[in-house]
């Protein structure tokens, strides 16, 4: 496994190199260069123009520029954003990336759970009203025009009902006297969620290994205790209302993303289940006298999970740039919006930096998919 | 269940005395519904299996052997229907039981060893855990006792206990089949059904597994139904043999008797279709024609279109039961002077 990981990492670095090259030459292939934005100004003296070109290095031969680009990217120097001057690209991305990740990771995990659970049911009871309703509803939502659906959600739940805020990341009124900025709170929230996940996962693994009869009870207890502890700490911290404000702003975009995407997982799960049901070991599981629910969940669904997990990890990767539409509709200041505004305002360093980050994330997700697959399917042992 | 249907073969009882039948099947009839109509896969089959007895079911593919096996466990595909008949397990009828009620009997009382070519083991779980799962479904015990039982079972089928925590793909074909047998024996069933368990294995492995199965069956005094198309295999493991043709049992009796002095022409043809390695070379008996289409089985004796002795009565009337020594057959023109 270690050898495999090493080899795969080398492959990923090579792919990243190819990716960086393509991004660079695509950007270079555009007519004009970065300095045009400024040098087109007729009031600029010729020597300033030359200075600018010198400064940006656009007079250098292409291969030299390419090498500088590679060196800078690999040393983590993405340059300075034009539109958000003087902030560095790295700084902007580090601020925006977690927001997008949280939004899409949450939505993807929920839609994966929902889709998997529904897919299991409709594969087991084919032809019932559950199948027709969820398939019709799921496919309708899956194929709906996304911006329209996002606006409808806002109109219904934020404007008409007034339950939730209309877009944006936070409510400035709530944050007027805040002791810290939103990024700190947001990162703290992220850390809490990660901590709870680790605790719950550890308890699940530990109880499973010991084959304890009370495992489900212990797991439920661990989740309850961890959640209660987290809520308690946040309430006591004095910034709980700020965290709540961020959560409130997340609900609508997450719900919209979940609704438009769960049908994919559902139908994939259904097809995968129907394939596994035909396998011999499922009949053996029935012959063993196991209850239908055990046959479905433990034997069929567990095997049907494999292709679903692959698609899940890949959809996580596409989450970053796939959010362009949703982030624009909900004015969510994440990577998608950053990409759009960087492109519109010709902020090339930021656009390139955002692309590079998306590329790295996709590659890492592929590696994660491989590792997860080996963990889920004992037949896959990478050498 | 259709109680008004004419019991075509219900009255056929077996020739062997029945002191302690573990299983008694009476007039078992099962159809598969297809777009073209009902396929009469099992049609009025009756037989009994005594405690400690090993019964072989032999016949060409598609004659209904495996359908009987699945019907006994009531593990029927969606399009299969149990039309009528009784499945008496230790005197209690399984036929009317619901799926939930049936679960208690599966594996606990009737267990099954599946074809070696089948992936009977779930690829994502350890073999030991899959056996423990079967145990846990029927017997209350602690993890330690279950583990001890798995070790016993591995010992019983001569598997290395080191393989208990391994995954199925780490097993060879023969080992998988041993694990399948160990799993089937987990709850000490009254009746073990083995459906072509050695068909996909090479002859040496096949021979070892057969010996193992026989040994275990005798040691546990368990009843065994061994299903195969291979007469030689049946001869090796079974006290009693039932020959099936087109969804019916055409001959039934002690294995030695049936194979040495077959009274049904089909059994005789089946026998001569097998070459002997040591004996003199001779033309293999060829059965002309195909097994009948079970959508519209031929009237009278179902074997008549392929039978060299067929006469008019065979084509119109159900054949009577004739006996000879320990065995019986359903035939109008029995060989070897058997009489009704």
Which ipTM was obtained for this model? 0.84
User: Is the pTM here over 0.90, yes or no?
Assistant: no
Q: In this structure, what DSSP letter does residue A295 have? A: I
What is residue A320's predicted lDDT score, i.e. its pLDDT? 61
- Rounded to whole angstroms, the Cα distance separating A272 from A123 reads 9
Q: How far is B169 from chain A (nearest CA, A)?
A: 6
Residue B264 sits in the same domain as residue B139: no
Q: Are residues B49 and B152 in the same domain?
A: no
B20 and B127 part of one domain = no
C-alpha span between B334 and B322 (Å, rounded)? 7
For residue range A133-181, what is the model confidence (pLDDT) as tens digits?
Answer: 888 998 898 898 888 999 999 999 988 988 888 888 888 888 887 788 8
Residue to substitute from A215, A278, A287, interface B, most B β-carbons within 10 A = A287
Position B235 pLDDT exceeds 50 = yes
Distances (CA, A) of A381 to A373, B127, B189: 9, 17, 36
What is the Cα–Cα distance from B138 to B103, expressed in whole angstroms?
Answer: 9
pLDDT tens profile B208-227: 888 888 888 988 889 999 99
Q: Are residues B82 and B132 in the same domain?
A: no
As a whole number, the mean pLDDT across chain B is 85
Contact yes or no for A280 and B143 at CB 8 A = no
Q: Which of A279, A287, A288 sits opposite B119 (nearest CB)?
A: A279
Q: Please, what is the end-to-end C-alpha distance for chain A in angstroms? A: 6
Report the gap between the CA of B79 and the closest CA in chain A (Å).
14
Instruction: Identify all chain B residues contacting A281, using CB atoms and an 8 Å cutoff.
Output: 119-123
The answer to the question of residue A215 being in a domain is: no
pLDDT of residue B272: 78
Rounded to the nearest angstrom, the gap between the alpha carbon of residue B171 and the centroid of all alpha carbons in its chain is 26
Judge whether A346 lies within some domain: yes
| Tokens matching residue B272 | 């001569």
- Asked which of B188, B216, B232 is the last residue of a domain, the reply is B188
Last residue of a domain, one of B288, B315, B334: B288
Q: Are residues B54 and B105 in the same domain?
A: yes
* Rounded CA separation A374/A377 (Å): 5
User: Is the bond preceding residue A86 a cis peptide, omega within 30 degrees?
Assistant: yes
Q: Which of A280, A289, A379 sits opposite B103 (nearest CB)?
A: A289
What is the pLDDT at residue A345? 77
Contact (Cβ atoms closer than 8 angstroms) between residue B78 and residue B108: no
User: Across the interface, which of B108, B167, B183 has its CB nearest the CB of A289?
Assistant: B108
Q: Which residues of A touch B131 (CB under 8 A)?
A: none
B97 shares its domain with B39 = yes
Neighbours of B313 (CB within 10 A): 14
Model pLDDT, residue B282 = 61
CATH of residue A322:
1.10.3720.10
- Residue at token pair 């965290």: A243
Q: Nearest chain B Cα to A293, which residue?
A: B100
β B37-50/B21-34 pair status: antiparallel
Tens-digit pLDDT string for chain A (383 aa): 677 788 888 988 899 899 989 988 888 787 766 666 666 777 778 888 778 777 777 777 888 888 888 888 888 888 888 778 788 888 888 888 888 888 888 888 888 899 999 999 999 888 778 888 888 998 898 898 888 999 999 999 988 988 888 888 888 888 887 788 888 888 888 888 888 888 888 887 877 766 666 777 887 888 888 888 888 888 888 788 888 888 889 999 999 989 988 888 999 999 999 999 988 899 999 999 999 889 999 999 999 998 888 888 777 766 665 578 888 899 888 888 888 888 777 777 888 888 888 888 888 888 888 888 878 888 876 55
Q: What ranges make up the beta strands (E) of chain B?
A: 21-34, 37-50, 54-58, 80-89, 92-93, 110-113, 191-195, 223-228, 240-245, 248-254, 321-324, 327-330
Q: How many folded domains does chain B comprise?
A: 2
Chain B residues with CB-CB distance to A211 below 8 A:
143
Confirm whether B164 is domain-assigned. yes
Range of the domain at B265: 9-109+190-288
Which domain covers residue A249, as residue numbers?
91-179+239-381
Among the candidates B242, B260, B288, a domain finishes at B288
Identify the closest residue of chain A to B192 by CA–CA distance. A287
**Residue B14 binned pLDDT confidence (cut-offs 50, 70, 90):** very low
Q: Chain A interface residues facing chain B, Cβ-Cβ under 8 Å?
A: 211, 279-281, 283-292, 299, 302-303, 376-379
* Sheet of B110-113, strand order: B110-113, B191-195, B223-228, B54-58, B240-245, B248-254, B327-330, B321-324
Please give the order of strands across the beta sheet that includes B92-93. Answer: B37-50, B21-34, B80-89, B92-93
The alpha-carbon radius of gyration of chain B (Å, integer) is 20
With 50 as the cut, is the pLDDT of residue B1 above it? no
Same domain, B235 and B87: yes
| B2 close to A (CB below 8 A) | no
A312 or B5, which is more confident: A312
What pLDDT band is residue B46 in, cutting at 50, 70 and 90? very high
């Amino acid at each position: 496994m270690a050898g495999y990981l090493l080899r795969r990492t080398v492959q990923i670095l090579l792919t990243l190199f190819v990716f960086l090259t393509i991004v660079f030459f695509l950007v270079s292939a555009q007519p004009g260069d970065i300095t045009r934005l400024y040098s087109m100004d007729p009031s600029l003296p010729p020597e300033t123009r030359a200075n600018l070109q010198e400064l940006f290095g656009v007079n250098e031969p292409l291969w030299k520029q390419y090498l500088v680009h590679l060196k800078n990217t690999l040393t983590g120097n993405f340059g300075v954003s034009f539109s958000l001057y003087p902030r560095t690209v790295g700084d902007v991305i580090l601020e925006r990336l977690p927001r997008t990740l949280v939004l899409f990771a949450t939505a993807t995990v929920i839609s994966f759970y929902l889709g998997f659970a529904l897919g299991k049911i409709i594969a087991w009871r084919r032809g019932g009203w559950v199948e027709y309703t969820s398939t019709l509803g799921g496919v309708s939502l899956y194929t709906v025009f996304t911006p329209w659906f996002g606006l409808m959600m806002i109109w219904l739940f934020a404007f008409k009902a007034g339950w939730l805020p209309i877009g944006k990341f936070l409510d400035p009124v709530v944050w007027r006297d805040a002791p810290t900025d939103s990024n700190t709170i947001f990162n703290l929230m992220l850390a809490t969620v990660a901590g709870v996940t680790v605790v719950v996962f550890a308890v699940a693994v530990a109880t499973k290994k010991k084959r304890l009869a009370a495992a489900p009870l212990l797991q439920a207890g661990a989740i309850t205790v961890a959640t209660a502890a987290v809520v308690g700490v946040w309430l006591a911290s004095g910034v709980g209302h700020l965290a709540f404000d961020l959560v409130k702003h997340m609900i609508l975009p997450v719900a919209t993303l979940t609704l438009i995407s769960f049908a994919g997982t559902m139908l994939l799960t259904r097809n995968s289940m129907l394939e596994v049901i035909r396998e011999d070991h499922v009949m053996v599981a029935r012959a063993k006298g196991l209850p239908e629910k055990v046959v479905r969940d433990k034997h069929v669904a567990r095997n049907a999970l494999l292709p679903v997990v692959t698609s899940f990890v890949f959809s996580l990767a596409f989450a970053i740039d796939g959010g362009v539409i949703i982030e624009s509709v909900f004015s969510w200041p994440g990577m998608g919006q950053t990409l759009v505004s960087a492109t519109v305002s010709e902020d090339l360093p930021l656009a390139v930096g955002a692309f590079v980050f998306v590329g790295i994330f996709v590659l890492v997700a592929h590696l994660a998919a491989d590792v997860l697959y080996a963990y889920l399917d004992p037949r896959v042992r990478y050498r | 269940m259709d109680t008004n249907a004419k019991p075509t073969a219900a009255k056929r009882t077996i020739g062997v005395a029945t002191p302690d039948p573990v299983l008694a099947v009476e007039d078992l009839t099962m159809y598969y519904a297809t777009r073209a109509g009902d396929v009469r896969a099992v049609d009025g089959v009756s037989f009994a299996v005594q405690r400690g007895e090993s019964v072989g079911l032999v016949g060409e593919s598609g004659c209904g052997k495996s359908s009987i096996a699945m019907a006994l466990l009531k593990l029927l595909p969606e399009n299969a229907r149990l039309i009528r008949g009784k499945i008496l397990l230790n005197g209690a009828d399984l036929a009317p039981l619901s799926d939930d009620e049936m679960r208690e009997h599966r594996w606990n009382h009737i267990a099954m060893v599946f074809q070696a070519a089948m992936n009977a083991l779930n690829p994502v779980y350890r073999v030991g855990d899959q056996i423990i799962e079967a145990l846990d479904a029927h017997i209350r015990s602690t993890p330690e006792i279950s583990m001890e039982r798995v070790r016993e079972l591995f010992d019983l089928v001569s598997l290395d206990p080191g393989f208990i925590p391994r995954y199925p793909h780490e097993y060879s074909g023969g080992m998988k089949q041993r694990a399948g047998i160990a799993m089937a024996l987990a709850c000490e069933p009254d009746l073990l059904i083995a459906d072509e368990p050695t068909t996909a294995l090479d002859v040496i492995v096949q021979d070892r597994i057969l010996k193992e199965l026989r040994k275990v069956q005798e040691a546990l005094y368990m009843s065994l139904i061994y299903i195969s198309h291979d007469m030689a295999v049946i001869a090796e493991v079974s006290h009693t043999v039932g020959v099936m043709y087109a969804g019916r049992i055409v001959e039934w009796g002690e294995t030695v008797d049936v194979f040495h002095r077959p009274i049904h022409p089909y059994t005789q043809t089946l026998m001569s279709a097998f070459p002997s390695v040591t004996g003199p070379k001779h033309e293999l008996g060829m059965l002309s024609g195909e097994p009948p289409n079970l959508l519209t089985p031929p009237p009278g004796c179902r074997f008549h279109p392929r039978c060299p002795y067929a006469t008019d009565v065979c084509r119109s009337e159900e054949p009577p039961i004739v006996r000879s020594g320990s065995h019986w057959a359903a035939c109008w023109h029995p060989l070897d002077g058997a009489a009704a």
